[in-house]
Amino acid sequence: MTAPGLVLSGSARVDGAPLFGPVDFAAPAGRWTCLLGPSGVGKSTVLRLFAGLAGPVTLDGHAGASDGAPLAGRVALMAQQDLLLPWLDVLGNVLLGARLRGRRGDRAAARDILERVGLSAHAHKRPAALSGGQRQRAALARTLLEDRPVVLLDEPFSALDARTRAQMQDLSAALLARRTVLHVTHDPAEAARLGHHICLMAGDGIRPVPLSAEPPPRAFDAAATLSLQGALHRRLMQAA
């Protein structure tokens, strides 16, 4: 499995009203790229364009893989809502992708991933019986099990407490190594920990932030991580 990079150029609009752009953005192959920006600038739309779920959005330009082949079938998406199916238990939800493709699904792998996100004891509960953080971890487990070269994450850790968030970030960084990850977030601390590359999205476009720090995942309490977090926060304040 060779992960392609992602490229996006052009501008997007909804019903004729401009949404963002023009932008020129690239997420390098096999790397973790964080797309950081305030709410409402169109970060989620960027993800949806790569996922092939443009909906009412029209893109004047191009969004796709750097190798030129279609992205369909090579992408896993974790949306902002957990999108767990209420009539399936957690195990059934984690195995949903295989079931939708008409395969049996690897139950051992699913149980292993549930163990790693700390939901083993909840495998046979329905989503309604879980807390918000547990639901988000179930959605993360479903995304990680999809085993796709390109992984699109939309605020995947937003509902987690600080401790669980750090654990899930480390787990995701380990399991998604060498895949192309595009991670949308509004949290500078998260971007500072996880990004090989960090791009700042504002109303006037998407700009890369120069990084000199060590490769991710960076320790959440290291001086370099905290200083990067501060610098990103500063840029966010100035961009707004």
Partner 1 sequence: MRRLGTIAGPVLLALALWQAVVVLTGVPSFLLPAPARVAVTLWTSRALLAEHALTTAAEVLIGLFLGAALGFCAAVLMAASPPARAVLRPMLVFSQAVPVFALAPLLTLWLGYGLWSKVAMALLIIFFPVTSAFFDALMRTPPGWTGLAQVMGASPARLMWHVRIPAALPGFASGLRLAAVYAPIGAIIGEWVGASNGLGYLMLLANGRAKIDLMFAALIVLAVFALLLHAAVDAACNRALRGRT
Which residues here bind partner 1, judged by CB under 8 A? 48, 51-53, 55, 72-73, 75-77, 79, 81, 83, 85-87, 96-97, 99-102, 126, 128-129, 146
Q: If phi over 0 gives left and psi between -120 and 50 gives alpha, with beta otherwise, what is residue 171?
A: alpha
Nearer to partner 1, 83 or 209 (CB): 83
Q: How far are the Cα atoms of 75, 77, 188, 204 from residue 12, in angstroms, in the given order?
A: 21, 20, 25, 12
Q: How far is the CB of 148 from partner 1 (least distance, A)?
A: 9
CB of 11 to partner 1, least distance (A): 22
Backbone angles phi, psi at 4, to 5 degrees: -80, 160
Mark out the alpha helices in 52-121 (DSSP H runs).
Answer: 90-94, 96-100, 107-116
Task: Name which of 48 and 197 has its Cβ closer to partner 1.
Answer: 48
To partner 1, the closest distance from the beta carbon of 86 in angstroms equals 4
Q: Closer to partner 1 at the Cβ: 52 or 133?
A: 52
Residue nearer to partner 1 on the CB measure, 83 or 231: 83
- As a whole number of angstroms, the distance between CA 240 and CA 229 comes to 17
Minimum distance of partner 1 from residue 77's CB (angstroms)? 5
